[in-house]
Structures are given as structure tokens and as C-alpha cells.
Amino acid sequence: MALDRLDISQFRNHRSVALQTRHPFVILHGPNGAGKTNILEAVSLLVPGRGLRRAAFQEMALRGGDGSFAISAELDGNRIGTAVEAANPNRRIVHINGATASAASLAEWLAVLWVTPAMDRIFVEGATGRRRFLDRLVLALDPGHAVASARYEKGLRQRNRMIAEGQGDNQWFDAVEMQLAEAGSLVAQARSETVTRLHAAISAMPDLPFARPELNLECDTPHDAATLAECYREFRQRDRAAGRTLVGPHRADLVAHHAGHGGAAGQCSTGEQKAMLLSLIIAHANLVGELRTAPPVLLLDEVAAHLDPDRRAALFEALRATGSQVWMTGTEPELFDSIKADALRLHVADGNIAG
């Protein structure tokens, strides 16, 4: 799944970018605010979702431009891309080999995972961010998860609107809830299977100087659609009183503990939490490579700066072993000297990129 070429137009602070990127490592170095993370964000938009910042499309367009932007990439002789037009800045356009496609279909061509500084607190903050993170892990293994998740979110919005506005008779609720349950059971089952596989993959990893997480999925959602539909039916009055749906995969949480001492991840040190996150990403990359026959693209924003030389070398070796194409950012190019032979090193400054 490595990107052979990346083209960007009018995105963030980059007016025009054209890169030949067929390398195991792509290193973006330069001062803070130069636009390094913007390049990673562009790559993250080549899969379903709103990218690593979850920003509005209007925020992504070049300041002073016409409000449009475009991102495309070549991989294994195919071209995938996404764009937003100035005339309709809220609508995302996707093209695959020149044909218009859905955003969900991007997952069939590419798997992308990322770690950003904002994710350092993923085990501390609310369950919503952990669900999104888990869904990206699921999507990399199961491209169909994007469709099931979109259907579930659409059905959930409809049921919540009916509850809040006092709409719908029992027959209408039955129809909406059956569709919601069918999508929800697929989402719940895919998440459960991914967590089970990840637990096994993490346990099988060779020793690394990084803490490992033990993962569990806290969710009271039945995996059977008929049973889940019955739950919705049973709890209608309770949900009406609450003004929202209180059962389903949107209430799930990914729970992690330190495998060494058993402490809850959210109570571990910042360094331990970051180490557990990196171990998880490496194990998942290996799992994607095994199940999809091609490892994902990894986007790692500022992951090397706070590691000592030994841990940094161990991280690079573990990343190389996944077979993934790894994009990393850092202010100092010397951080990546040990992988210089395998890396495309690019200096980023004021939206300009030089080799």
C-alpha cells in the first residue's frame, strides 16, 4: 500500500506539491509551523473520514485561495484522490482511476493509521476519541466497516430525532430500529473481532523497550441484529425520557491496561501511555499486513523527539519490520540518521518542500 507519488494542490499552506515517494520511510523535517503535519493530514484524507485533525473542509483550503483543494496519490499503478470544489466546500469528491467513487470505497485501496501529539491523551480523555481510534483500526482490516458505520450513524441520528421531536408510531420505530440494529450489529462484531485479534498480535510481539497494552472492549451491544432491535424496542420509553438512544455501539469504549503492572492506561505516566500507543500501532500494522497481504501506511507526527537513542532505534527497527511505508515528522533531521539509507528526507519550510 505504499504511495509511489503524492500530489497536493491548494491545501493548508501548500500551494502545489508533487513528490515521488516510493521509499520505506518518508521524513519531513523543518521548523515548527512549516507545514509538516499538513502533509500528513493530506495523506490521511486518502481514506474515509475527516483526516487526522477532523477539521472542516473549509479550514483545509489554502488561505487566500479560492476555497478548493485536491489531493491524489499513485500506488501500484492506480490513482486515488479526493478534492473539494469552491462552489460546494462542504462536499467531498473522490476519484479512483478517473471515475467518481464514494469516500467509503477508498478503504478498499489504502489503509492509513496515524499517531499525533494530540493522541497522547487518548487513554485519559473521553470514550468518543477512543471509539474513533478503534474504528480506524477496524477499517484498516475491514474496508466494509466504513459503510456499516455510516449506516449506523445515519440510523442513530434518525431515531434520536424521532425521540426528541416526538415523531413516529410503533411501526415507523420498528422499521428504523431494524435498520439501525442491522448496521449496529455489524459495527459491534467488527470491533470485537479487531480487539480480539489485536490482543493476540500484541501478545505475540517480540520484546521491545516499550510498554504493551492489554485491550478490552466495553460494550453491552448484542451482536445479533434481532436481539439488538428488541433492545431498542424495549427501551423506547427510557430513551424518550433521556432524549437520546442509550444502547448500541455508540456507547462502547476501548479500555486499556498496562500489561506489565496491570494499571489502567489512563493512570499511567505520559511516557507509558505513548509507549502503549506505539506498541498497539506496530502490532496492528503487522496484523493488517497479515490479513490484507499489504501493510498500511503509517503517519507518525513528532514521535521521535522525546525518545532516547536506544528506544528511537528500537522503534525504527520495529517499524521497518512491519513492511509499512512510514511517514514521520521532526524538527531535527539528525533524529532520523539511523534510517538515512531507507528514507526520503524532505525539508519543509513555509509551505515549500525540498529534498
Residue 14 · residue 39 · CB < 8 Å: yes
Vertex 143 angle, CA 90 and 42, to 5°: 45
Helix axes 270-292, 170-203, angle to 10 degrees: 100
CATH numeric code, 119-293: 1.20.1050.90
Stated as kind and residue range, the H or E segment containing 64 is none
Position of cell 501506511? Answer: 297
- pLDDT tens for the chain, residues 1 to 355: 799 999 999 999 999 999 999 999 999 999 999 999 999 999 999 999 999 999 999 999 999 999 999 999 999 999 999 999 999 999 999 999 999 999 999 999 999 999 999 999 999 999 999 999 999 999 999 999 999 999 999 999 999 999 999 888 999 999 999 999 999 999 999 999 999 999 999 998 888 888 999 999 998 888 899 999 999 999 999 999 999 999 999 999 999 999 999 999 999 999 999 999 999 999 999 999 999 989 999 999 999 988 889 999 999 999 999 999 999 999 999 999 999 999 999 999 989 999 8
pLDDT for residue 57: 94
Residue 304 · residue 336 · CB < 8 Å: yes
Instruction: Outline which parts of the chain fall under CATH 1.20.1050.90.
Output: 119-293
DSSP conformation class of 61 = B
Residue partners of 13: CB distance under 8 A and separation at least 6 = 35, 38, 62, 63, 350, 351
Task: Using DSSP bridges, classify how beta strands 297-300 and 325-330 pair: parallel, antiparallel or unpaired.
Answer: parallel
Residue 215 · residue 287 · CB < 8 Å: no
Entry field: residues in the chain: 355
Q: Give strand ranges (E) for 130-263.
A: 213-218, 253-258
Backbone angles phi, psi at 301, to 5 degrees: -95, 115
Stated as kind and residue range, the H or E segment containing 198 is helix 170-203
290: number of Cβ within 10 Å: 12
* Strand arrangement, sheet containing 112-115: 112-115, 297-300, 325-330, 25-29, 343-349, 352-354
Residue 197 · residue 263 · CB < 8 Å: no
- Residue 200, helix vs strand vs coil: helix
DSSP conformation class of 205 = S
Domain over 1-111+294-355 is classified CATH 3.40.50.1370:
no
pLDDT for residue 267: 96
Question: How far apart are alpha carbons 52 and 41 in whole angstroms?
Answer: 6
- Residue 212, helix vs strand vs coil: coil
Q: Which amino acid is at 218?
A: E
Instruction: Outline which parts of the chain fall under CATH 3.40.50.300.
Output: 1-111+294-355
pLDDT for residue 322: 96
Residue partners of 152: CB distance under 8 A and separation at least 6 = 180, 183, 184, 186, 187, 248, 249, 250
Cα 16 from chain centre: 25
Burial 178-203 (b: 16+ CB within 10 A, else e): bbbbbbbbbbbbbbbebbebbbebbe
SS3 content of the chain, % helix, strand, coil (to 5): 45, 25, 30
- Residue 81, helix vs strand vs coil: strand
Q: Which amino acid is at 195?
A: V
Question: How far apart are alpha carbons 293 and 12 in whole angstroms?
Answer: 33
